[in-house]
Structures are given as C-alpha cells and as structure tokens.
Structure 1
C-alpha cells in the first residue's frame, strides 16, 4: 500500500509591486499561479514606492484598501505591506525577511514578462533567483523580449518557470493615464 507523502513545506506565491492602482489583471495572474503551481496562498505585497518609477498616484493606504477590495472573494490571496519591517522596498529584503519567518516555506516570486525584461537591473537579482522560484507570466508586447533578456541568459531556463496564459491588455500605468485625461 502506498503512503501519501506529505510535503514538509508550504508553497507560497509572492506578487509584489506598487499596485498603483490594483486591477483585475493582478487578480487574473494570481488565479493562474494559484491553480498551475498549486500554491497554498499568494501574498500581494504592496510597496510604498517602486525604485524604478515615479512616486505613486495613490497613497499606500488607498492602494492597500483597493487591493483588499479586489481580492476579497479569494481567500488564498492575502494583501500586505512589509515596508515598516524592511530597510527598503527592494525585493531582496522582502524575500530574506519572509524566508527567516517561514523557514519551511517554498516561495514563488511571480512577475509579468514586462518586469522580467528589466529583472537584471534589480538589486541582488541573482540572489532573489537563488532564494525563490521565479515565475514569469506573459504580458502583451514583452514575451519575445523576455526570452532574449539578460536575466534569462544569465540564469538559464532551468532556474525560471514560464507559465502559459492569455495575455490581458490592462496595466496600472494605463489606468493612471485614463485618470489624468
């Protein structure tokens, strides 16, 4: 008789960003990752500021509130901001913080192919890839670029996980632009 082997770790996804503002695209990729990776939960980690972008349009408090509202019907999505516990909002600090708190957890850092194209510019990007599984979802206009990115060449495909899904043409920057019209 076969015994069911129980995993001694929990699979947790991380979707980080400014979420300025959050939108259904964040929810869509979270649902795909939850299903395809069989994650226990996904942490939406909302940061005060993205080091590569201008100051956010919405306050952190407002972005947290809107994120919780969008994710409220999915119990596997948890919305947090860890900025008060971290030296900076760099991803490497978040990953190290989470790894210390959840030693037995296995982390999956989820990003769109638009972010992966620039991943080699992130602080300690190679270390991030060592500490967690990098998961890339397609983003309209960036799939081919991501397949020739510096990070892919440096890390190799075996260190990365590309998930297939429909691309949706929604982004926080497009939403912000529509607010300004």
Structure 2
C-alpha cells in the first residue's frame, strides 16, 4: 500500500487493528496474531506498522526498512492484512504520536492497538505511553512466558478497572478509551530473534 492510499474517506467506518514493530523480520507469529485479531475482535483490517527504527532497539542488527517491509508483505499473504511503512509519511517516530496522527487523519475509523504480552510489560518505557491507552482501545495477546508477568505489571495495574472481559472482545473497537482486553489466543512459537540467529548460522527463515 503506497502513501497515496492513505488519503480520503476510504477507511470510514472500518475497524482496523494496528500491529506495530520492527518486523525484523516479520514471521508466522505476526500473521497468526493478526488472523486471530480479525476473528476475535471482529476487525475489518489489520495494518502492520513497520517501524523505520524502533527507538528501544539497536540499529546495528536492523535490516533496512525496504527489506523489512518487503519481507512483511511476503509473510502477510492475506487480503485483509496490509504491511505498511506509513510512519515515514506521517513523520512520526513514537507510537503515541503515530496513533494520534492516524486518529486525526481518519476520525471515522475505529482503530485498535494490538500488542503482545511482552510489550504490555515493557510499555511504561515507551514515550508518553499512557496516551496510547487514552487514545484507542488496546488488545493484548498472550505470548509464551510473558503473560503472567505482564498482567501483574505497571500498565495492567494502572488500567485494571478499564479491562474488558475477553467474552466481550468483539465490542472492544467501539468502546471508548481507555479500554483494553487480554486475549488467551493459541500460542505460536515463532520469534524474530530466533529467526535472526538461524540466519546468522546459515539456516533459512522459519
């Protein structure tokens, strides 16, 4: 999807999940979570926001944005999942700013921020992280070894009274923020770190 596709009223009324990250590289786990989100949250689309450079990650082992975006598009393989580098057009670096700009540009679109339990645990390190919860509904997905710690962490405790029961997850996109839910999705073993290690040792992507 090129920059020209992000103008006009084409997304009005849609429920769109936003899955951000380095995607270094994208893998089957990202696709697994996205397909689950489409179904469990009743979303119309999922956008993968391939970050130009994650402020919390080193650029040393980071593939170029063009390489990561191309790989993400190859992995997505679904008409309702779009890999995009829209942050380069928006001119934003931090998630809170990206979400604010998307909400401004598309006031009639229902956005939901999607993230794994590992990111719920570390989100207090993100710049202006509370603005994310105050701006859009948030869906958190179970991830191996992270879920228990994340649910006991700073973010989960701060917004504990705004947590929506998983049985009501399909109403998340139309709920007024702050609101979030935790989804006990089937776990997927894919890991970008493991894939990079395999590549370094001459193995192919997983």
TM-score past 0.5 threshold: yes
Q: How far 1:166 moved relative to its partner?
A: 1.4
User: In the alignment, what sits opposite 2:32?
Assistant: 28
- 1:162 lines up with 2:182 in the alignment: yes
User: In the alignment, what sits opposite 1:67?
Assistant: 72
CA distance in structure 2 between the partners assigned to 1:77 and 1:124 by the alignment: 27
Aligned CA distance change for structure 1 residues 157 and 139 (closer, same or farther; 3 Å): farther
- 1:119 lines up with 2:123 in the alignment: yes
Look up the SS of the partner of 2:181 in the other structure: strand
- 1:16-165 to structure 2, matched below 5 A, reads 16-55=20-59, 56-72=61-77, 74-158=78-162, 159-165=179-185
CA distance in structure 2 between the partners assigned to 1:142 and 1:53 by the alignment: 19
Give TM-score, length-normalised by structure 2.
0.80
Q: How far 1:9 moved relative to its partner?
A: 3.2
How many residue pairs match? The answer is 173
Q: Which runs of 5+ in 1 are unaligned?
A: 1-7
CA distance in structure 2 between the partners assigned to 1:148 and 1:133 by the alignment: 19
Structure 1 runs (4+) greater than 3 angstroms displaced: none
The answer to whether the Cα contact below 8 Å between 2:52 and 2:88 also exists between their aligned partners in 1 is no
Of the structure 1 ranges 56-65 and 35-44, higher mean CA displacement relative to structure 2 is found in 56-65
Q: How far 1:81 moved relative to its partner?
A: 0.6
The answer to whether the Cα contact below 8 Å between 2:49 and 2:87 also exists between their aligned partners in 1 is no
RMSD over aligned Cα atoms: 1.4
Q: How far 1:84 moved relative to its partner?
A: 2.3
